[in-house]
Structure 1
Amino acid sequence: RFRAGRPTAISLTLDGRAVLFLRSGSRDVVQDLYAYDVATRKERVLLSAAGLLAGAEEHLSVEERARRERQRQSARGITSYQLSHDGRRILVPLGGRLFVVERLTGAMRGLKSTGGFPIDPRFSRDATQVACVRDHDLFVTGVASGEERRLTEGGNATVTNGEAEFVAQEEMARSQGYWWSPDGRTLAYQHTDLTGVEVLRIADPAHPERAPQSWPYPRAGTQNAAVTLGLIPAAGGRTTWVAWDRERYPYLTTVVWTENAPLTILVQNRAQTEEVLMTVDPATGATTPLLTERDDAWLNLSPGMPAWTRDGRAFLWMTERRGALQLELHARDGALIRALTPPEPGLRDGVDLDEAHGMVWVRGGDDPTETQLFQVPLDPRRGKRVRVTVEPGQHGAVFSEDRSTFVHSLSALGGTPRWVVRARDGRPLGELRSVGETPILTPHLEFTVVGDSLQFHAVIVRPRDFDPKRRYPVIVSVYGGPHSQTVTKSAQGYLVQQWMADHGFIVVSLDGRGTPGRGRAWERAIKGDLIDVPLHDQVEGLVALGRRYREMDLTRVGITGWSFGGYFSAMAVERRPAVYHAAVAGAPVTDWRDYDTYYTERYMGRPDDNPKGYAAASALTWAKDLSRPLLILHGTADDNVYFFNSLKLCEALVRSGRSFEFVPLAGYTHMVADSLGVAQVNQRTIAHFMRYLGPGR
C-alpha cells in the first residue's frame, strides 16, 4: 500500500535537461509515464496508460506475466519504456502493442505487427528500428516505414530465439535475450534449446476445467537449457554462431555491446567456480579470452560489469580474488592496468563511469546496513576516494550521459524515500514527487551488533507502547539465505514488523554468515550446506540479544519468513524446538533437489555429489521431529518455488503424525503483491503467534 505512488524506472536525457519516470496513483498499481523539466522544476504526464488503451482492457500474454514475475513486477499500465539515445523518441509497450512517441512534440505512432505478443522491445541506438520477440522468434520493425522483418525461424515452446531462459531471468538478473550492435546493423541473440529440460505444470485447483500451464524448469542436478549466441544482420540473412567451449562453460551470464567497444560475453562453468570474459569477432563468431576468474566456492556476478570506456580502450571489472570485492581497470586486451580500490568487504557495486571527470561512482561503506555513494578516481595520483553521501541509509544514483545531472535516491531512517535531482556538484535541482500515502506509524528501531565468537548485525522493533518493566515474546523476522539482508537502514523498511510488534511482541532480525557485505569468507561459509551455519548464527545472535535485553522473553520465540525465509522458519522449529516455539513458513523450499540448478548448485553442488548435504538441508528429512506449532502458506500458482514444495512437506508431516496448519493461497504466485493477499498473510501470521506465544505480560 505505501509503495504505490513512488517514482520508478528513472532515466535522464542525454543533456540532463529532462527526467523521465513511471508512477502510479496512491492507491492503485496502474502506472503512467511522467517527464520532469529540470529548468522549470515542473512535471507533466507524458503518456497515460488509459489514454493509450483508449478504453480497451490491458492484455498480457502468459509469457509476459512470467517475465514480470521474474522481475518482481506487480504494477500494471506502463511498466517499462525506453528513451532513445538522443532523447528524442520513447518506446512504450502496452497491452500487446508498441508505441513510438516523439518526446518534444508528443506525436505518436503505433507499430503494426503480424501478430503475437511483443516481448522485450528495444530501439536500435539511432531509434530508427525496433526489435522484439514474438512467438519465440526475433523481429525488427522500421519506425518510419512500419515494415516488419522476421529475422529468425523455427521458434516454439522448445526452441526459442531472443529470449533469456528461466535461470538467466530468475538467478542471473538477465532478462535480455538479444542485443543491438552500436551501429544498428546487427543483432546478437540467444538461441535456446529446451529439449530434455524437465517441464513442470501448474494447474488451477479452483478451475479444474482449465488446462494447466507448462514451464521448463531445471531442478538441481537435471538437464539445463542449451544456450548459444548468434549474430544476424538487422536486414535479415544468415546467422553467424559465436564459438566458445559451451560444454565447459554452459552458462551465458552477461552480454555487453557498447559503442567503440567489442562485443563482450561472460560465460561460467556449471559449478560457477570458473568464468571467462571474452570478446567476440562479429564477422566470424570467434572469441578471444580477456580474463579468467576462479573461486573454490562460487563466483558472484557483478551488475554492470564489464563497463567499457567511451573509446573502447579499457574496461572496469570487479573481482573477489583477493578476499573481498575490488574494482579494477583493465586494458582492451584484458591486462590489468591498476586496482582502483583495495579489497573491501563493504564495496557493493559500480554505479557510473564518469570519464570526463576521471572518476567512478560506487556504492558501499564500512557499515553493511548502509549503502553510501563514493567517488573513486580512475588515476589514484590525481585524487583520493571521496564519500559523497552522509545520511545513514540506502543511497543510489542515475546519471545523464553528459554527467551534468543525476537523480539521487535516498531511503533513510525516520522518513519517506526521496528522489532528488542534482547537478554534478551536488546542488539540488528539484525533486521527483511521490504521491504515495504516508504510513500511519513510524517504526521504533534499534540497530545493534551482538554475538560471542562472531559479530552479527541486528535490528530490534519494540511496540510503540513499550513498557520496560514487562517481558515480551519475540518474533524473529528472517530470510537467512545468501545474497540478501534483513538488517538495513532504510525508510519504511520495517512497517510490517512494527505492526506485529504493536500486538505485544518484540520483533528482531539478524544477518549471519552467508549474507553479503562482509567479505568473501563470511559469505562463502555456507558452501555445501544451506542451513547449519545460518541456523547456528541465528541462534547465537538471538541468545546474545536475550542476555543483553531482559525485556525479551526467550521462552516464547516465534519465527517467520518467506521463500528462503519460509524454508528457514520451518527448519528452525524442526531442528531447534528448544529455541523456536512457533513458526510461520511462507512459500518454503522444502527440498533443495526441487529448486533450480543455477541457484541451488552454486551453494550445494549437484545432488549426486552431495547427497548427505541435500538430505540434511531438507525440511522433509526433519518433518518427523516437528513438535512446535507450524503454519505453512503458499501460492498455488507459484512458478519459482513451486506449490508442491509445501505439499511434500504436508505429506511428510502427515505420515509422521505431526500437527500443523496449511493455508493454500489460491491463484497467487511467489509474489503476493495485492493488498488483500498481503493482509491475509499478515493477519494469519500474527494470529498464529498470538495464539501460541501470547502478547507481552
Structure 2
Amino acid sequence: MKRTFIFSFLLLGLASALTAQNQKITLEEIWGGAFRTEGMDALHSMNNGQQYSVLNFDRNSRTTSIDKYDYKTLEKVETILSSGELDGIQYFQSYEFSEDESKLILATEVESVYRRSTLGVFYVYDIESKKLTKISDHKIQEPTFSPDASKVAYVLDNNIYIKNLEDNGLAQVTSDGEKNKIINGVTDWVYEEEFSFVRAFDWNKSGTHLAYIRFDESEVPEFSMDVYGQSLYPTQQVFKYPKAGEKNSEVSLHVYELASKETSNVDLGNAYYIPRIQWTSDKNKLSAQVMNRHQNDLKLYFYDAKNKESKVILEETDEAYIDITDNLTFLNDNSFVWTSEKDGYNHIYLYSKEGELVNQITQGDWEVTNYYGFDQKTSRIFYQSVENGSINRDIYSIGLNGKGKVRLSSGNGTNDAVFSTDFTYYINTFSNARTPYKYTLNRAKNGKEIKEIVTNEELRSALTNYELSEKEFSTIRVNGNDLNMWTIRPKDFDSSKQYPVLMYQYSGPGSQQVANRWNSSNDYWYQMLAQKGYIVVCIDGRGTGFKGADFKKVTYQELGKYEVEDQIAAAKQLASLPYVDEERIGIWGWSFGGFMSSNCILKGNDVFSMAIAVAPVTSWRFYDTVYTERYMRTPQENASGYDDNSPINYASNLKGDYLLIHGTADDNVHVQNTMRMAEALIQANKQFDWAIYPDKNHGIYGGKTRLQLYTKMTNFIDQHLGDKIEESLELKEIKN
C-alpha cells in the first residue's frame, strides 16, 4: 500500500509538472500585470559620481522618500528627505535637485495636460535648513532652479515668473500670455508632440539671463473634442492644432536680463521653427536651432547676450528632412559635439566654437542610436549603436579624436546605459528575446560588470510553466531589400499543416519593431495567439530606421506607398509557403500602424482577408503640420502624395473583414479620422465593424479598457481568421 501510494503520488506530480509546462496565457494575465518585469526607478546620479538617489514610495504609510545609495555597494547610505517629515505634504510625485544639490523642487498634485506636459503644486526644500517653501499657490508648469539655486523660474497661465527664494520676491517676465493665443516659456501642442519638449526657457550659466521662446498661436485653427464624462451635459476641450498645410504658431526668441529687467529680441533671420534653445559653456552665448517649414534646412545660431548679435555657426541641408535631437554638447572651450546623418548614417561629429569641423568621431555603415555624453576628464564619448546588427544595441566609448573605441557591453541583444555624473560607473540594462531585463553595475572604463542589481529570474522561472514559442529573427527579400523580420509560430508547429497568419505593422519613419529585446505586453498577446494556432509575423519595411538615411528617407513625400508595397509583397511571399493558409492572412496596427493595416486591406485586398486598425490616420490632411510636412511637405505642394496614399480614398476596395477602433478624446490622431473613414465605407456600401472608446486618448487605456479592447480584437481575429483553423490543419493533412 505504501509503495502504491508513493507511485501514485509521483504520477500525480509528473502530470502536474507536464500540465504546468503547458499553461496557456490569458488576456486577464497580460493586462492584469502577471508578466510585468521588475525594473529600477529613475535614478539621479549625485555630483560626486559615487552615489545616486532614488524616489521610493512606502505603500503602508503612503509616504515618499528620496534615498541616497552607493554605486559600489548598492546599499542605502541615507534618506535625504521623507515626506513624513513635512507638514502639509503626504507624498510627492517627483523631485529635482538644484545644480549644487543644496535644494530640491518637490512636485505634488500633478495632473497631465498632454503627452509630456503637466501642471502641479511645487515646493522648494532646503536640505541644510530643512525649510519648505511653496513656489506658488497656483498650479504651475516647469519650475526650474537658477544655477546658484537662489531663484526658480516657472510658467503660470502662459506667462513666465521668477521667484527669489532669498526674499520671496516675484518678478513677472512676461504679461501677454493668454490661453489659445500667446504662450511664453512652454511649448504649444504641436511642438510638445513632435519636437518632444515642453520647457521652452533656459537659464544661462551665471543665472543673469533667461532665454525663452514665445508662441503666437492666434491664427492657428482650433480643434474641439467632446468630453462626455459623468455629467448630464458633455463639455468641450478646445485647443490649437495646426493640421497639414495650415498656419503654425509664429515663434520668436527673447532674452530677459534679471538686473535691468529688460527683454531683448533675438534675430534669427526667417526662422519658421525654433525646436531647441540651449545656453553654451560661455555665460553670454546662447545657441538656437532654427528650421524652415520643410524641415530640410537646419541652422545653429549663436547669440551674444553682451553685444546682442546673432550669427549662424553651422548649417545643414538635406533633400528630404533633418531630425532634431538632444545630442548637442558644449565642451569647456565652447567647441561642441553634434550628431548628423550627412554621410548617410547617423554619426557623431566635433566642431570648433566657430562652427568649423574638427573631425568625424564615429563612422561606418551603421547608426549611432543614443548619445550618452562626454567625459571631460578622459576626453571620451559614450554612445549606443547598431554596430552589432540593426536589431541589436551595444554601448561603446571612443576618444574625442575618433580613436581607441571600446565595446563596453557584452550581451547579444539590447543594451542601454545610465552613467554616473563623473562617468566612473554605469547601470546597464540588458535584454533580448529570450532574456528578461537584467540590470547590472559596470565600470565605464572597460564595461566590466561589478554586480547584478535586478535579474527578473522570478519572472523567467514563472514563464517556464507556460507554452511559449521562440521569437525567430530572420530577413525576407522584398522589393530588392533584405527586410528584418520576426516570426512566432505555434509551439507544436508542423510544416505539413496549414496555419492562418497575423501580421503586425507600424512602419512609421525611422521606427523599429523588429528588435532583439524582451517582451512587451503585445508579445504575450502574440504568444497567446500562437497557442491558438496562428503564426504571427512582423516585418520592418522601407522607411523604418537604423539601416541608413537612404533606406529611411525613400518614403519622402509618399508616406504609405513603399511601406504598403513591402507589406503586400511580403504577405504574398508568406502566402506561397506550403504551411500558410493563403486565404487567411490578416494584419493589424495602431496609429501609423492602423494607417498601414487600413491601406493594406484596401490596396492588397487580394492578399489580406482581415485587418484591424486602432487609432489610425486615414488621411494625412487630418494630421499635424510638424510631423506630416516633415515627410510629405504641404498638401498644397504635394496633393497626390497625400491623396494617393490615404485609406479614405480607397474605401470601395474593401473585400475582407475590417475592424476600426478609436478613442473619442484622442488629441493626437483625432477620432475625425475614423469618422471620415466610416462615412467613406458607408457611402461605398461596405460592411465593417468598429468600436469607439468614450473619453479615451491615443493610448486607449484606463480601468479595464485594455482588457476589453484586446478581448474584442482577439474575438475578431478568431471569428475571421481562426474559425476554420482545425479545418485548415485537417485539410492539409488529407491533401498530403
- TM-score for both structures, normalised by structure 2: 0.85
Instruction: Please name the residue that 1:358 is paired with.
Output: 379
1:409 Cα deviation (Å)? 2.3
Q: Pick from 598, 610, 620: which aligns with 2:648?
A: 620
Q: How many angstroms does 1:84 deviate by?
A: 2.4
Output the amino acid matched with 1:414.
R
> What residue is the counterpart of 1:20 in the other structure?
53
Gaps of 5+ in 1: 59-76
2:580 is the alignment partner of 1:533: no
Q: Is the contact made by 2:408 and 2:444 (CA closer than 8 Å) also made in structure 1?
A: no
Aligned match of 2:516: 489
Aligned equivalent of 2:173, options 151, 176, 198? 151
- Could you say if the C-alpha distance between residues 190 and 435 of structure 1 is closer, same or farther in structure 2, counting changes exceeding 3 Å? farther
> 2:99 is matched with which residue?
85
User: How do 1:246-645 residues align onto structure 2 when only pairs under 5 Å count?
Assistant: 246=270, 249-260=271-282, 262-304=285-327, 306-312=328-334, 314-366=335-387, 367-380=389-402, 383-425=403-445, 426-430=447-451, 433=454, 438=459, 441=463, 444-452=470-478, 453-493=480-520, 494-547=523-576, 550-645=578-673
Could you tell me how far apart the structure 1 residues matched to 2:495 and 2:84 are?
A: 53
Q: Is the 8 A contact 1:131 1:139 kept in 2?
A: yes
Q: Which moved more, 1:454-463 or 1:229-238?
A: 229-238
SS at match of 1:133: strand
CA–CA distance in structure 1, aligned partners of residues 531 and 333 of structure 2: 57
- Cα 1:458–1:422 change in 2 (3 A) is same
1:162 partner amino acid: G
| 1:572 Cα deviation from its structure 2 partner | 0.9
Asked whether the 8 Å contact 2:56–2:64 carries over to 1, the reply is: yes
* 1:87-106 paired onto structure 2 within 5 Å: 87-95=101-109, 96-102=120-126
- Could you say which residue in structure 1 is the equivalent of 2:142? 120
Deviation at 1:46, TM superposition (A): 5.9
- Corresponding residue for 2:75? 42
C-alpha distance in 2, partners of 1:49/1:424?
Answer: 34
Q: 2:710 aligns with which of 679, 682, 695?
A: 682
Shift, 1:562, TM fit? 0.7
Name the CA distance, whole Å, in 2 between partners of 1:30 and 1:467.
Answer: 55
Deviation at 1:281, TM superposition (A): 1.1
Name the CA distance, whole Å, in 1 between partners of 2:458 and 2:156: 39
Contact 2:506–2:594 under 8 Å retained in 1 = yes
Q: For residues 311-331 of structure 1, give each alpha carbon's deviation from its aligned partner in whole angstroms, at most 9, with x where no partner exists.
A: 32x111122222222221110
Paired residues of 1:392 and 1:413 also in contact (CA < 8 A): no
Distance change (3 Å), C-alpha of 1:140 and 1:9:
farther
Q: Aligned with 2:648: secondary structure?
A: coil
Equivalent position to 1:671, from 689, 699, 702? 699
With over 3 angstroms needed to count, the CA separation of the structure-2 counterparts of 1:54 and 1:410, relative to structure 1, is farther
Q: Which residue of 2 aligns with 1:199?
A: 222
Q: Secondary structure at the match of 1:456?
A: strand
SS for the counterpart of 2:190 is helix
Asked if the contact 1:5/1:25 (under 8 Å) is kept, the reply is: no
Runs of at least 5 residues in structure 2 that lack an aligned partner in the other structure:
1-32, 110-119, 727-736
Q: Which amino acid aligns with 1:227?
A: V
The partner residue of 2:188 within 151, 154, 165 is 165
Deviations 1:581-633 (A, max 9, x none): 11110000111011000110111111011111111121110112111111111
Secondary structure at the aligned position of 1:417 is classed as strand
The letter for the 1-side match of 2:338 is W
CA contact (8 A) 2:160 2:174 kept: yes
Measure, in 1, the Cα distance between the counterparts of 2:54 and 2:89: 23
Q: Distance in 2 between matches of 1:500 and 1:48?
A: 46
Give the deviation of 1:102 after TM superposition: 4.9
Q: CA deviation at 1:515?
A: 0.7
Worse-superposed segment, 11-20 or 38-47: 38-47
1:320·1:343 contact (CA, 8 Å) conserved in 2? Answer: no
Whole-angstrom distance in 2 between the partners of 1:533 and 1:610: 16
Post-superposition CA distance 1:394-449 (Å, at most 9, x none): 22222233222222222333222233233333344555559998385466210001
User: Normalised by the size of structure 1, how large is the TM-score?
Assistant: 0.89
User: Aligned AA for 1:461?
Assistant: I
SS of the residue corresponding to residue 612 of structure 1 reads helix
Matched residue, 2:27: none
Name the structure 1 match of 2:23: none
Deviates more, 1:394-403 or 1:472-481: 394-403
For 2:261, which of 237, 241, 251 is the aligned residue?
237
How many angstroms apart in 1 are the aligned matches of 2:309 and 2:626?
27
Question: Partner amino acid for 1:397?
Answer: A
CA distance in 1, matches of 2:64, 2:581: 45
The 1-side partners of 2:172 and 2:268 are apart by 27
* Partner SS state of residue 672, structure 1: coil
TM-aligned CA distance change 1:45 to 1:574, over 3 Å? farther
Query: Residues 461-516 of structure 1, C-alpha deviation per residue, up to 9 Å, x if partnerless?
Result: 12344444432211111102212111011112322322332232111111111111
Aligned twin of 2:237:
213
Contact 2:555 2:563 in 1 (8 A): yes
Query: What is aligned with 1:10?
Result: 43
Q: 1:671 and 1:378 mapped to 2: Cα distance? A: 41
State the Cα deviation string for residues 163-210 of structure 1 (Å, max 9, x = none): 112222111122221111111121111111001101101112455624
CA deviation map 1:334-385 (0-9, x unaligned):
00111112253322232111232121111112311112111121124xx432
Distance 2:163 2:685 in 1: 62
Note if contact 1:515-1:523 (Cα within 8 Å) is conserved in structure 2.
Answer: yes
Corresponding residue SS for 2:712: helix
Corresponding residue to 2:719 among 664, 675, 691: 691
- Structure 1: how far apart are the matches of 2:489 and 2:378? 47
- Deviation, 1:152, is 1.4
SS in 2 for 1:398: strand
Moved more, 632-641 or 487-496: 487-496
Cα 1:210/1:147, change in 2 over 3 Å: farther
Please state how far the C-alpha of 1:526 moved relative to its aligned partner: 0.3
DSSP-derived class of the 2:459 partner: coil
- Matched residue type, 1:20: S
Aligned residue identity for 1:107: K
Matches within 5 A, 1:652-667: 652-667=680-695
* Shift in alpha-carbon separation, 1:55–1:664, aligned structure 2, 3 A: farther
Superposition deviation, residue 53 in structure 1: 9.7
Residues 427/25 of structure 1: CA separation in 2 closer, same or farther (3 Å cut): farther
Q: Output the amino acid matched with 1:449.
A: T
- Mean CA deviation greater in 125-134 or 453-462: 125-134
My pick for the range that moved more, 11-20 or 509-518, is 11-20
In structure 2, do the counterparts of structure 1 residues 255 and 476 end up closer, same or farther at CA, with 3 Å as the change threshold?
Answer: same
Partner Cα distance (1:683, 1:657) in 2: 27
Q: State the partner residue of 2:164.
A: 142
Cα offset, 1:16, TM superposition = 1.8
Q: Distance in 2 between matches of 1:239 and 1:330?
A: 30
* Equivalent residues of 1:574, 1:625 under 8 A apart: yes
Length, aligned pairs only = 667
Contact 1:7 1:23 in 2 (8 A): no
RMSD: 2.8
**After superposition, what is the alpha-carbon deviation per residue over 1:127-153, rounded to whole angstroms, capped at 9, x for unaligned?**
222211111111122334443332211
Secondary structure of 2:373's partner?
strand
